[in-house]
Amino acid sequence: MKRLSDIKFSTLDLVPVRENGSAAQSLHNSLDLAQHVEKFGYNRFWVAEHHNMDGIASSATSVLLGYLAGGTSTIRVGSGGVMLPNHAPLVIAEQFGTLESLYPGRIDLGLGRAPGSDQMTARALRRERSGSADDFPQDVAELMRYLGPRTPDQRIIAMPGTGTNVPVWLLGSSLFSAQLAGERGLPYAFASHFAPRFMHEAIRVYRNHFKPSAVLDKPYVMLGVPLVAADTDEQADYLATSVYQRILALMRGQSLVQRPPVKTMEGLWLPHEKEAVGDFLGLAMVGSPQKIRAKLEVLIEQTQADELIFTCDLYEHADRLHSYELLAQVMKG
């Protein structure tokens, strides 16, 4: 049985844009956060591709990763993830081959099969390309060929990219990618930070379908976990209201810019919306270090996950830094 101190811990930054803030400020905060968690022993720092969302500034994912990798020295940096239906596999192979060439041994390529946007935005991204989620298995295979060793009959190469063997992860919030990751022998990251309902089933499907590969000899599971750590439970509950407001805005189709915390959510949401936000954040770790430690121990006991990747969308950047600092103390025991 795994103990909390055995588990690797990482950061997923959604590069949040706050009310009256700017994308530039958010991007600089992302690097500051990466440098901060690197000092506390976090394993990797990922950012995710989203489009047409005013509250998330990580749309040009590979460009941002170059900035983050250039400003850090040891932490792994990667995508959590690149939404592959939006791109030609060759383009992603060249981008991440370039990153791996510049920062060898530190780059991760996490892939998702959703567009990370609405359908109108997806069409604007792809234009005349016919890419869709249905092509995902073939696109993953094509991308991995570009990143693998060059073969004698290979007519198209990624340069940089060929022979870099950038580690590929499959990401998912349903069972499709869990099965595919297992069959391909790839590491799997489940999006339990927003879709906890299928977490246990996805882990089971992945492990049951796992076939050893050149990449992995046994399954490797990483779980997304929302985080709001503070010195006291009361302070954490207060800070978490910024997260609740953001998820509520997402469900209502409103602006996703971060809003400051409020004393109470009463009057801001309807009963069914409160329940829906609670379901969305079902795995959230909100509280003091003592409370979070107890909840994490239960999570590890139930899932036997290999790694946890935490996302923390607080209004004040200083509160985010402190939250990740407290978590590091919890994880190290």
Query: Residue 274's pLDDT is what?
Result: 96
- In a domain? residue 260: no
Query: How much of the chain, in percent, has pLDDT values that exceed 90?
Result: 86
Mean pLDDT score, 7-19: 96
Query: Residue 55's pLDDT is what?
Result: 94
* Number of structural domains found in the chain: 1
Query: Residue 12's pLDDT is what?
Result: 98
Query: Residue 287's pLDDT is what?
Result: 98
For residues 68 and 34, is the Cβ–Cβ distance under 8 A? yes
- Spatial CA neighbour of 16 closest among 262, 281, 256, 324: 256
- In a domain? residue 99: yes
Mean pLDDT score, 247-251: 95
Residues with Cβ < 8 Å from 217, sequence gap 6 or more?
Answer: none
Residue 274 token pair: 């409160």
**Residue 39, pLDDT above cutoff 90:** yes
- In a domain? residue 265: no
| C-alpha–C-alpha distance, residues 170 and 174, integer Å | 12
- Spatial CA neighbour of 329 closest among 2, 5, 3, 1: 5
Residues 271-329: tens digit of each pLDDT: 999 999 999 999 999 999 999 999 999 999 999 999 999 999 999 999 999 999 999 99
Residues 195-240: tens digit of each pLDDT: 889 999 999 999 999 999 999 999 999 999 999 999 999 999 999 9
Domain that holds residue 171: 4-229+284-331
Residues 66-120: tens digit of each pLDDT: 999 999 999 999 999 999 988 999 999 999 999 999 999 999 999 998 765 567 7
- In a domain? residue 145: yes
- In a domain? residue 274: no
- In a domain? residue 29: yes
Query: Residue 3's pLDDT is what?
Result: 87
CATH number of the domain bearing residue 134: 3.20.20.30
